[in-house]
Amino acid sequence: MSTHVFNVEMTCEGCSSAVERVLNRLKGQGVESVSISLPEQKVVVKSTLSGDQLLDVIKKTGKKTTYVGIQ
């Protein structure tokens, strides 16, 4: 289990909700928890999935996303 950190361009609650929604679909399939900080535009995901897999999932929301690394 790793804790992955992403910078995601989110401007409102709707943006963060969209990111949270796509990641929560993977709960039980590798994602254990999702933590989103809208002011910091940061998403922290505790998961057995790779950073690349999670990055692809977050990018499906259409938000500009960068992978920071493992915390």
What pLDDT shows up at residue 38?
96
The per-residue pLDDT for range 49-58, each reduced to its tens digit, is: 999 999 999 9
What pLDDT shows up at residue 9?
97
Number of separate domains in the chain: 1
The per-residue pLDDT for range 10-38, each reduced to its tens digit, is: 999 999 999 999 999 999 999 999 999 99
Q: What is the 3-state secondary structure (H, E, C) of the chain?
A: CEEEEEEECCCCHHHHHHHHHHHHCCECCCEEEEEEECCCCEEEEEECCCHHHHHHHHHCCCCCEEEEEEC
Domain, as residue range, for 33 = 2-70
| CATH code of 13's domain | 3.30.70.100
